[in-house]
Structure 1
Amino acid sequence: MTLLPLPIHTMAKSPPFLSLQILTTFLTFFYLFHPSMPKTVETKALLEFKNQLQDPLNYLDSWKDSESPCHFTGVSCDLNTGQVTEISLDNKSLSGVLSPSISLLQSLTSLVLPSNLISGKIPVQLGNCTNLKVLNLTGNQMSGSLPDLSSLTNLEILDLSENYFVGGFPTWVASLNGLISLGLGQNDYEEGEIPESLGNLKNLTWIFLGGSNLRGEIPESIFELTALQTLDISGNQISGNFPKSISKLQNLIKIELFQNNLTGELPRELADLTLLQEIDISSNQMFGNLPPEVGNLKNLTVFQLYKNNFSGELPPGFGDLHHLKSFSIYRNSFSGEFIENFGRFSPLNLIDISENKFSGGFPKFLCENGNLQYLLALDNNFSGELADNYAKCKSLERLRINQNHLSGKISDGLWALPNAKLMDLSDNEFTGGISPQIGSSIGLDELILGNNKFSGELPLEIGKLTQLERLQLSNNNFSGRIPSEIGNLKQLSSLHLEANSFTGPIPIDLGQCDRLVDLNLALNSLSGNIPNTISQMSSLNSLNLSGNELKGSIPKNLQKLKVSSIDLSKNQLSGRVPLFLLTMGGDKAFLGNKGLCIDESSSSEVNSGLAICSRQHFNQRFTGNKLVMFCIILSGLVVILGCLLLVSYWNFKFGESDMENNIKWGTETDPRWKIESFHPMEFNADEICNLDEDNLIGCGGTGKVYRLDLKKDVGTVAVKQLWTGNGVKVSPTEIEILGKIRHKNVLKLYASLTKGGSSFLVFEYMANGNLFEALHREIKGGQLELDWFQRYRIALGAAKGLAYLHHDCFPPIIHRDVKSTNILLDDDYEPKIADFGVAKVAEESPEGSEASCFAGTHGYIAPELAYSLKVSEKSDVYSFGVVLLELVTGRRPIEDEYGEGKDMVYWFSTDLYDHKNALKVLDPKVVSDLVQDDMIKVLKVATLCTTKLPNLRPTMKDVVKMLVDAEPYTFRSPGSTETNGKAFL
């Protein structure tokens, strides 16, 4: 109510009314200023706000009913009224939902909750906080359609970016005329154009609409926002030529238009923006020469236009800039000699001119001011020597000048860069040796020198590079012994020394590099024996020692290794080849060793061109001693006759009992077979075990798989014959566990049969083979066999199968070899997880279980397994993430395009800096407007699953939930509520 002062004459003439007036004034004062009244309302509102949130850091502990809201952490009040005016909780790991009770804070002017994990919708009631000037909810996990908040007419800052809001683009913001800062980007709005009405916001200085599913051209009204300093419409589908009208925005400091569909040439008018500091128009379809005037933008600090089709020479003005820090123009067609003075006067920090056609001498002054950290100039036509002044570039961290025509020696100082992490000089014509000063580069992660003319011995100081993960020196002229100091490189995962002139033995100390995944010493002149210590490399996946002068036998303990590739050919080795290694490498891996042979029993398992050991030994031992031969044969006949008599007696004595035992299987089986049945089924052991090679349908690391049509109308089954050898046996405990598994997305194990060293597993037969084959099979018309809807169904089913193994089995089962070839498909393309040959029962430990051996397949192996045998469910999650990438991209886990030693995860994470570029990786043979968004959702799940740190990966239960949310719209039943599919991020 409003109290007005009464005239003096009225007050004098009306004492009763005066009393009423005084009382009313007192009550109003009491209501407005008594400390308990507003505090009660606002305290309850804030406590309800707190109750809807999870606070793992206990940041809101001070929010108590007994305290004034003004004492709450993150809360500010008006000094006069005591009412709450601001809530600021930036990056406090808060989750939960935003309570509507916030609308009771009528004096609230600022609500700042960025960089948390808050989910759910924005409550409509927030529109009642009409005094709000700042609303910042960026970087959360909020979803749903945005409510109309046009009632918040006092807003100056509105930032709802980096959430998962859906629905139409919020056109109501155009009525908020007081806005200075507007952030709506990185959400999942329906596809649409930029509203012309945004041109009404004349006070805007900052606008961020990146990643908002916007298409079409930028409306002319945007170029009337003359106060604008930052324009960011990146990561959309904006088309048309680069707008010349941008020159109207004379106050522009920053332009972000990367990852769109812009075409045409860069207009000369851009040079009119004299205040411009940053411009990024990368990943578009622009072409032509750069206008010379662009080089005169004296305030430039960031210039990026990589992944376009620009050509010609660079404007010479770039060489005179004094503020340039970042310059990235890779993957264009620029040519000619590079600007001589580039970097001479600027604090250059990053330059990437890779994958162009620059020629002539390499620029000398890129590190003139000592700030350069990243120098990337690979795949050009530079020639001549590298200037000595780079030896003084102590700030340099990444140096990639590979794939050029550079020559000459590398100065000692360049080998000794103290902050270098990556040095790639490969595919040039460099000469000379590696300086002993390389021992000063103690932070080096990768040293790549392959395909040059380097020579001399490796310095012993290379053993000081204890952080080194990759050492690639192949195809050079290095000589001398491999220094034993390499054994100090405990982080090393890849060692390539092939095609050099190394001599002497393989150092025993190399076995200390127990994180090595890839070891190649081929095509040298190494001698001596293969050291037993190689078996200590528990992570080794690929071993190549071919083309040397190695002697002696193959160490038996190499069978401990679970390599997927091995090559010991063209040496001077002798003795038996272990069957397991022969199975993994094939006979080509051992050819060219005249002294090697295989057991006669092994020759039936593997088609080999190697000699038979038993035949050679028989000829050598007995040709000269007929008497001994006769005695042995006679003794053998006596023993055989005795055994036959004993067996006959045994059968006569116990035959009736055996028959009774066989009846329970529904058939008469050989009592020597130990049979365990897990599902009702009639079969004959001889029928199972007499397999026809014509019915072979698969061969893997644990055995061969055959298709078998059983008699008695049982139907078709798949029979796996396990390789012989301790390394591939499935323990009785594991058989028992697998037999108890009951899930429609896990392959059904009918029975197991064992006798002596032979083991057979009988599984249900899957008519459509495995997922890898189905992904790459074509049906009529060149169309792929699997469309997106089938792929999604397979992804969800396989995820449910793995979730069952991880969460519903006790103890949990870790598969350890999840890959597309181990996901089988039945007649209806229902997926089933298969091949538990290396599966492990998880231990009750938060750190995971210690595996006895390395398992997995290159391209699917979680990065932590390169340095640890600690396996956990999260290793399976990583591998499943790779499968999801296969489903979304249609690519294989390993392709030449990814680069040597690289896989699909590396390619995806480095080639795509964020999800804005995701459209480019979707399988073009199945993507369409109908399923494009759904494929993106699954791609994001794959990204989470393949996170480098295991603890940041979701559980398989979470993966199932995320995939359910990513269900294609076509799959949803009529009337169901559409989910955004990204609330999990």
Structure 2
Amino acid sequence: MRNQREQASQLPRDGAATETRALHGVSEVAALLAFKNSLTIPPGAADFFAKWDAAGVASSPCNFTGVTCNSSGSVTAIRVEVLGVAAASVPFDVLCGSLPALATLSLPSNALAGGIDGVGGCTGLEELNLAFNSFSGVVPDLSPLTKLQKLNVSQNSFTGGFPWDALPSMPDLTVLAAGDNGFFTQTDTFPAEITKLTNLTVLYLSAANIGGVIPPGIGNLVKLSNLQLSDNRLTGEIPPEITKLTNLLQLELYNNSLRGDLPTGFGKLAKLQLFDASMNMLTGTLSELRSLTQLISLQLFYNNLTGEVPPELGDFKELVNLSLYSNNLTGELPQNLGSWAEFNFIDVSTNALSGTIPPYMCKRGTMTKLLVLENNFSGQIPATYATCTTLQRFRVSKNSMSGDVPEGLWALPNADIIDLEGNHFTGGIGDGIGKAGSLNSLYLARNRFSGAIPPSIGNASNLEILDISSNELSGEIPASMGSLANLGSVNIAGNGISGEIPVSLGMCSSLNTVNFAGNKLAGTIPSELGSLPRLNSLDVSGNDLSGAVPASLAGLKLSYLNLSDNRLVGPVPEPLAIPAYGESFHGNPRLCATNGVDFLRRCSPEAGGHSASTARTIVTCLLAGLAVVFAALGAAMYITKRRRAEAEATVGRGSGKLFAKKGSWDLKSFRVLAFDEHEVIDGVRDENLIGSGGSGDVYRVKLGSGAVVAVKHITRAGASAASTAPSAAMLRSPSVARRTASVRCREFDSEVGTLSSIRHVNVVKLLCSITSEDGAASLLVYEHLPNGSLYERLHGAEGCKLGGLGWPERYDIAVGSARGLEYLHHGCDRPILHRDVKSSNILLDETFKPRIADFGLAKILNSATPDSTPGVVAGTLGYMAPEYAYTWKVTEKSDVFSFGVVLLELVTGRTAIMAEYGQSRDIVDWVARRLDSRDKVIALLDAKIGEEWAKEEAVRVLRVAVLCTSRTPSMRPSMRTVVQMLEAAAIGREFGHVASVKGKVIP
């Protein structure tokens, strides 16, 4: 300041006014330089600040780039925008104290941090824009800024409450943007002060932690052209008063808890261009949209909308984006849809739409995504899409489409996914597939494609997934496939493909899954397959392969191997002749083993001449003699043991072992094991019992190696007192024993058949099964999950003692469990129904990652044989879907209902059945009666979910739970959709496995 005064004293004295202006100008220069000195300026912004210096007394702030002055030379505007400059703290107090004429302060899209307390001193401000920075702390009292017309503090890290009560002092406000500040203290009612700002044209409050209902007073803001309230906690219905906002161009309401129909008169918003109300609970039809002819983008996915897509949408000349997926829409799509403008994408997947696909959506050559999977579309693929070179995704799977595929579709240069799975397509795979330079995934399974796989497929260099299974293909596997260096999964199962397996596949270094089952392949298994470093699953069963099992396969780390039903001969390499691959070689009678496993015959030694024959004779005689001796000893020991066992059965279990005699046991291994059956059997004792359920008792068994496994004991029919310990009910009633044993026998077969074939991180691992010689007792050996079940952790005394579960753990359990069920429903060859989803069947590992367990009631879904077994209850009270009571049929949507109950447990901390719910009522009824207000919804949450961000996520998960527990099965989402909704629930915090859904297009 001293130097400024000295400089001022040296100025020419042209008059008092000149001197005053000079002094004032220097002061403003100093303020601006103080601001510049607070910044870290990246190289790309250096030129912008090149003129910001104090070079001599002639320096004027009006020469600074981004600075505007009035006619008096005073600074009126500072615009430092989108430069990436950073600051730990901005000297707002210096700027506001030294620039009295400042009317515009615009600093958006930089990396500025610290608080903004001093900004209240800029009382002449008309525009304040601090958006897209890292400012933090509390937004100060802004009521001194009475001239403010534009206020934008969005996309920062502010905490505390926004000063809504300051808004009445800004009657001229036209822009209010305070969104994307997720750390704002939650507001349980919509701020009433906003409805008084009748000059507003832009209101952006997305992700501002606002709750409550949208008030009728919103209709006062008739000048609004842009209203964005997304990513909040809004409830209730869209108020009818919103139809007064006839100047609206953009309306964003997505990801709230809004319900009900679009209000009558919504069609009055004739200027509306962008409308997004996706991820809510809206119902009713789309009829109110038929007059919104200016729509450019319409996003209503993840709701409960019904009825048809209005035919008028086909005449909308501006429409370029349409996302209506995951609703309950029916009828046909307008045939002219997307034909007028430069259409971008359509996603109407997972509805019940029918008819043909509109043919002209790529008429302007700009379409990128066509997603109509999981509907009832029929007819052929329109030929117009064969020339739509901009297409990146073409997905029509799981419909009823037919006919040949237009030739050009195979050769689309920018398509990364072509998904035609599960239709009735015919014809061949086009030779143009080799020109599909961007193709990553080709799904053609379950159609009627015929002819050969074209050799040109080897030119599709980016191909990673090829699934052409269950078709009518013939010919040979082209050797050119060996050039697909990125190919990770190839499935040609269930066709009529012949010839040999090309040795060139050994060059596909990325291959991890190969399924050639059920074809007519001949020749030998190439040894080159053993050189594939990532190969994890190999299935060549059901072919006509011959020769030996290549020794090179022994070096692979295969989780699945199936060579059954071929004509293979010779010894199986010893590393493969293990119980884990016990069923991998069936149907090859000329295979043998050198290590004496019981599922392969022992290999005969080569002929060794007379001496060898003589030796064999001598050994045979010796063994025969010993057999006589051992038979006599064995008879005596048997009598002694039987008497001892009968005595033990009379006095009880004695040592506590469940099995009082050791007989012959059959062990079937599904993984590589480091223990035998006797270690397991010895550990099944009373003191190791850790749980009991409808399908058996569970024991914790510690093995000699120190490892721990969980063992489930299932009693079969015909059990004797000497081999098992029957329950008291069985002893009282032999008929109960027979019936219970029969049911458990079925449960055992079901669980073994299901779990042995499943490989998923969120499904419990079945290590082996052990069955007694007489079939009376069966054991299932699983991985041991040390944190018990979700039920115990949420509701049990031990769980409470250990502090229960925090929200991050609960969220991870919800997502992980959903992914496990999604795999069962969508990731297997045929959908697998669990039929008893509940919190006690979700087990937790040492890091609380969940595993779906207890498949005792699981059943492979077979549409030709509906599950309608009377008298056998599939499920648990409180978790069973309501339709089961009158249909006796279980579907995938029944599992979804049960999982919804689990989500309710996670969110509320309550059990499925409690006395306080009332007679014949459960948690679903209890929650449903408390969804009519935001306060009641918050009151539903477990008190242990304390943080505000956690409550926000919990409410979103609650919304998913409510959808899952809909009384109408068709209204429930698929498990694939459930996973997507749960992942979307964590927007706003860093979860490694959570992806943003801002794109609003399903993969």
- TM-score bracket, shorter-length normalisation: 0.5 to 0.7
Aligned to 1:182: 176
Deviations 1:271-312 (A, max 9, x none): 111211121111221222232x52122211112222222222
The residue correspondences of 1:136-147 to structure 2 (distance < 5 A) are: 136-147=129-140
Q: How much has 1:176 moved relative to structure 2?
A: 2.4
Contact 1:340 1:364 survives alignment (8 Å): yes
Distance 2:504 2:163 in 1: 65
1:928 to 936, 942, 945: 942
Aligned to 1:367: 362
Contact 2:793 2:804 survives alignment (8 Å): no
Contact 1:543 1:567 survives alignment (8 Å): yes
2:444 to 443, 449, 460: 449
Aligned to 2:427: 432
Q: How much has 1:378 moved relative to structure 2?
A: 1.2
Aligned to 1:410: 405
Give the match's secondary structure for 2:377: strand
Give the match's secondary structure for 2:260: coil
Deviations 1:302-360 (A, max 9, x none): 12222222222232211222111112211222212332333343433211222222223
1:532 to 514, 523, 527: 527
Contact 2:370 2:395 survives alignment (8 Å): yes
Q: How much has 1:777 moved relative to structure 2?
A: 5.9
* Further displaced range: 778-787 or 223-232: 778-787
Distance 1:71 1:327 in 2: 49
Contact 1:566 1:585 survives alignment (8 Å): no
Give the match's secondary structure for 2:538: strand
1:461–1:143: structure 2 CA closer, same or farther, 3 Å change rule?
A: same
TM-score (norm 2): 0.62
* Further displaced range: 274-283 or 65-74: 65-74
Aligned to 1:4: none
Is the aligned partner of 1:239 residue 2:235? Answer: yes
Is the aligned partner of 1:197 residue 2:189? Answer: no
Is the aligned partner of 1:46 residue 2:38? Answer: no
Give the match's secondary structure for 1:221: helix
2:562 to 557, 562, 567: 567
Contact 2:426 2:448 survives alignment (8 Å): yes
Percent identity of equivalent pairs: 31
Aligned to 1:588: 583
Contact 2:186 2:948 survives alignment (8 Å): no
Distance 1:244 1:787 in 2: 50
1:36–1:155: structure 2 CA closer, same or farther, 3 Å change rule?
A: closer
| 1:561 maps to amino acid | L
1:420–1:40: structure 2 CA closer, same or farther, 3 Å change rule?
A: closer
Contact 2:785 2:846 survives alignment (8 Å): no
Aligned to 2:142: 149
Aligned to 2:992: 945
| 1:181 maps to amino acid | V
The residue correspondences of 1:623-638 to structure 2 (distance < 5 A) are: 625-626=612-613
Contact 1:55 1:95 survives alignment (8 Å): no
1:259–1:581: structure 2 CA closer, same or farther, 3 Å change rule?
A: farther
Distance 1:115 1:920 in 2: 39
Is the aligned partner of 1:489 residue 2:484? Answer: yes
Distance 1:942 1:530 in 2: 50
Deviations 1:634-662 (A, max 9, x none): xxxxxxxxxxxxxxxxxxxxxxxxxxxxx
* Further displaced range: 512-521 or 549-558: 549-558
Give the match's secondary structure for 1:271: helix
1:223 to 219, 222, 231: 219
Distance 2:682 2:102 in 1: 75
Deviations 1:681-718 (A, max 9, x none): xxxxxxx99994457899xxxxxx98369xxxxxx965
Aligned to 1:731: none
| 2:273 maps to amino acid | Q
1:535–1:108: structure 2 CA closer, same or farther, 3 Å change rule?
A: farther
1:263 to 239, 247, 259: 259
Contact 1:771 1:820 survives alignment (8 Å): no
2:151 to 145, 158, 168: 158
1:578–1:776: structure 2 CA closer, same or farther, 3 Å change rule?
A: farther
Deviations 1:411-454 (A, max 9, x none): 21222223322211110000000111222322222211111000
Distance 1:118 1:557 in 2: 60
Contact 2:158 2:181 survives alignment (8 Å): yes
Contact 2:455 2:480 survives alignment (8 Å): yes
Deviations 1:231-261 (A, max 9, x none): 1111222222222111211111111112222
Distance 1:216 1:928 in 2: 20
Q: How much has 1:619 moved relative to structure 2?
A: 8.0
Contact 1:140 1:163 survives alignment (8 Å): yes
Is the aligned partner of 1:349 residue 2:344? Answer: yes
Give the match's secondary structure for 2:475: strand
Contact 1:69 1:75 survives alignment (8 Å): no
Distance 1:289 1:268 in 2: 11
Contact 2:787 2:844 survives alignment (8 Å): no
Distance 2:126 2:176 in 1: 12
Contact 2:91 2:118 survives alignment (8 Å): no
The residue correspondences of 1:798-817 to structure 2 (distance < 5 A) are: none
1:401–1:222: structure 2 CA closer, same or farther, 3 Å change rule?
A: same
Contact 2:240 2:265 survives alignment (8 Å): yes
Give the match's secondary structure for 2:248: coil
Q: How much has 1:790 moved relative to structure 2?
A: 4.8
Distance 2:798 2:286 in 1: 42
1:622–1:267: structure 2 CA closer, same or farther, 3 Å change rule?
A: farther
Contact 1:886 1:892 survives alignment (8 Å): no
1:127–1:553: structure 2 CA closer, same or farther, 3 Å change rule?
A: farther
- The unaligned stretches of length 5 or more in structure 2 are 1-8, 621-674, 689-699, 710-781, 824-842, 859-901, 910-940, 954-984, 997-1003
Contact 2:392 2:414 survives alignment (8 Å): yes
Aligned to 1:282: 278
Distance 2:190 2:271 in 1: 26
| 2:215 maps to amino acid | P
Aligned to 1:358: 353
Deviations 1:786-831 (A, max 9, x none): 89965559979x9xxxxxxxxxxxxxxxxxxxx999xxxxxxxxxx
Distance 1:448 1:321 in 2: 33
1:562–1:786: structure 2 CA closer, same or farther, 3 Å change rule?
A: farther
Contact 2:785 2:844 survives alignment (8 Å): no
* Further displaced range: 780-789 or 387-396: 780-789
Aligned to 2:961: none
2:203 to 207, 210, 224: 207
The residue correspondences of 1:954-973 to structure 2 (distance < 5 A) are: none
Give the match's secondary structure for 1:462: helix
Q: How much has 1:774 moved relative to structure 2?
A: 3.6
Q: How much has 1:404 moved relative to structure 2?
A: 0.9
The residue correspondences of 1:776-787 to structure 2 (distance < 5 A) are: 776=790, 778=792
Q: How much has 1:45 moved relative to structure 2?
A: 1.8
1:251 to 242, 247, 250: 247
Q: How much has 1:561 moved relative to structure 2?
A: 3.3
Aligned to 1:479: 474
RMSD: 4.7
Aligned to 2:80: 88
Contact 2:130 2:154 survives alignment (8 Å): yes
Contact 1:563 1:584 survives alignment (8 Å): no
Is the aligned partner of 1:393 residue 2:388? Answer: yes
Contact 1:564 1:584 survives alignment (8 Å): no
Give the match's secondary structure for 2:378: strand
Q: How much has 1:407 moved relative to structure 2?
A: 0.8
- The unaligned stretches of length 5 or more in structure 1 are 1-19, 634-687, 699-704, 710-715, 721-767, 799-818, 822-857, 860-882, 897-918, 950-985
